[in-house]
Amino acid sequence: MSAVEKIPGEKSGEISGGTIFSLPSKKGVAVTRGKTKEGKLIARLKKSGLDPQKLLDLALPAAAAKSATKMRHRMMILGFVLFVAAPAAVFSTYMFFWASDQYHSMTAFAVRSANPVAPTEVLGMVMGNAGGESTTSNSYIVTDYLQSQSVLEDLPKDLDLQTIFNRESSDFIFSMGNDLPIEDRLKYWNAMVDVSFDATSGVIQVEVRSFRPEDSVEIAKAILKRSELLVNQLSEANRRETVRFAEEGVARAEARLKAIRKQMLAYRNETQEVSPEENAKLAVEMIAGLDQQRASREAEKKTLMSYLDEDSPRIRLLNQQIEALEGQLSSARERLGSGTSPSGSSGSNRTALSFRLADYSELALEEEFAQQLFLTSLASLETARQEADSKHLYLATFIPPTLSEDAQYPHRLLYSFAAFLLLAGTWSVAVMMYYNVRDRT
């Protein structure tokens, strides 16, 4: 039996030329029929409106999920490269090869008072001085001033900040720019000038950065000068405020004393007497003398009446003298007063010595009170001036502006790493948000 005949399930035949070929077996016929049936099934599914691929995905879910996972991973990697790695690389290249060097200048000073503080007084150390103006509050004022818009307006005109901060115009990230509004200039100023205050020691530290060491020193000197002028202004304002109330008190007391003295002068011009008290003393002495003389005459009369007649010349002379003395006494007493109460007298004479003495005593009392008040106000003014002198503030500079020899800024590695972390964090948040939304839907 030939080899062809030994092959089971196959039929052989001969062709001219001796070529032998095999006919398809029954198994091949089954495969052809199966493919025909699958084609008919796909045509029937499409005809009924169903998607054979979706049915296949449902039939094989693991394969479809694996394919989608690979696609998501590829998109995540692509997003990381485009939004994290590439921008971080560009920024790092800029920082290391393009960003300009920055030089700093340091200065430190403190606001001090002329009134010394004992080192053992903890409260005085914290508040700046004991019993005087708080240097801590004035230090905060200086710190806020150096970070405000006022310092930009008060800097000397020959200090051109726009030129100084734009010397490296190619460094568009760290340079200031031209023709900026005052708000943007202030923001850039606070970024390049760092002001810090230590409340425990009372020290104010200022660090200035620019693209040249000399520029940083010039800016630091200008800041130091403006701070000193501000402290002097605060000290002078404090001194004026302390002395102002005392000076106002002296002015009021002086005006009152002058008014009282004018009233006293008008009174003396009207009464034509310097002091009614002295006149009253003279009137009392005169009344006492007249009364003594009258008593002497009456005693003499009684003595003579023991052996002389009433009509004797001596007795008549004594009577006349006694009557004259009584008239003088009556006139002198009328000069002192009317002899009735002021409320009960319908026509009391205000020119009487008693009324003049009362008016004068009132004016004299007011004058004395005004004079004492004036003297007290002068003493208070002197005390206020001494206190104001003890509250004198001054700026103590113990670290003058330093000149840098090497660039300290920018921190290239730190900035590059921070940029990478920021981009990576943003990318991570975006990825987590995507997975969160995907899991919920």
**Are the C-beta atoms of residues 377 and 249 closer than 8 Å to each other?**
yes
Alpha helices in 48-82 (DSSP H): 52-59, 61-80
**So what's the pLDDT on residue 15?**
37
**Are the C-beta atoms of residues 309 and 315 closer than 8 Å to each other?**
yes
Q: What is the 3-state secondary structure (H, E, C) of 212-233?
A: CHHHHHHHHHHHHHHHHHHHHH
Alpha helices in 272-304 (DSSP H): 276-304
What is the sign of the dihedral through the CA atoms of 240, 241, 247 and 248?
positive
**So what's the pLDDT on residue 410?**
80
**So what's the pLDDT on residue 241?**
81
Q: 342: which 2 tokens?
A: 């002021």
Q: 399: which 2 tokens?
A: 């670290």
Rg of the Cα atoms in the chain = 59
| Block residue for tokens 């100023």 | 189
Judged by average pLDDT, the poorest of 228-237, 291-300, 415-424 is 291-300
**So what's the pLDDT on residue 73?**
78
- pLDDT per residue as tens digits for the range 176-219: 888 889 999 999 999 999 999 998 888 999 999 999 999 999 99
**So what's the pLDDT on residue 100?**
80
Report how far residue 398's alpha carbon sits from residue 381's, in angstroms, rounded to the nearest whole number.
35
**Are the C-beta atoms of residues 164 and 210 closer than 8 Å to each other?**
yes
- pLDDT per residue as tens digits for the range 23-72: 444 444 444 555 566 667 677 766 776 666 666 555 555 555 566 677 77
pLDDT greater than 70 at residue 430: yes
**So what's the pLDDT on residue 421?**
92
Of 344 and 241, more confident = 241
Environment class of residue 196 by beta-carbon count within 10 Å: exposed (0-12), middle (13-18) or buried (19+)? exposed
**So what's the pLDDT on residue 350?**
58
Environment class of residue 84 by beta-carbon count within 10 Å: exposed (0-12), middle (13-18) or buried (19+)? buried
**Which helix (DSSP H) or strand (DSSP E) does residue 255 occupy?**
helix 213-271
Report how far residue 43's alpha carbon sits from residue 56's, in angstroms, rounded to the nearest whole number.
15
Nearest to 220, CA basis, from 272, 146, 126: 146
Of 350 and 36, more confident = 36
* Collapsed DSSP state (helix, strand, coil) of residue 382: helix
What band does 1 get if pLDDT is binned at 50, 70 and 90?
very low
Nearest to 249, CA basis, from 126, 364, 113, 373: 373
**So what's the pLDDT on residue 65?**
56
**So what's the pLDDT on residue 31?**
44
**So what's the pLDDT on residue 222?**
93
User: For the whole model, what pTM was predicted?
Assistant: 0.57
What band does 299 get if pLDDT is binned at 50, 70 and 90?
confident
pLDDT, the chain, mean? 77
**So what's the pLDDT on residue 63?**
52
**Which helix (DSSP H) or strand (DSSP E) does residue 151 occupy?**
helix 149-154
Helix-helix angle 52-59:61-80, to 10 degrees: 100
Alpha helices in 343-411 (DSSP H): 353-390
**So what's the pLDDT on residue 226?**
93
**Are the C-beta atoms of residues 95 and 416 closer than 8 Å to each other?**
yes
What band does 130 get if pLDDT is binned at 50, 70 and 90?
very low
Averaged pLDDT for residues 268-291 = 74
Q: What are phi and psi of 48, to 5 degrees?
A: -85, 0
Averaged pLDDT for residues 100-104 = 87
Averaged pLDDT for residues 62-90 = 78
The one-letter amino acid code at 222 reads A
Q: 398: which 2 tokens?
A: 């113990």
Q: 93: which 2 tokens?
A: 């290249």
Judged by average pLDDT, the poorest of 55-64, 141-150, 369-378, 400-409 is 55-64
The percentage of residues in the chain with a pLDDT greater than 90, rounded to a whole number, is: 17
**So what's the pLDDT on residue 309?**
76
DSSP state of 365: H
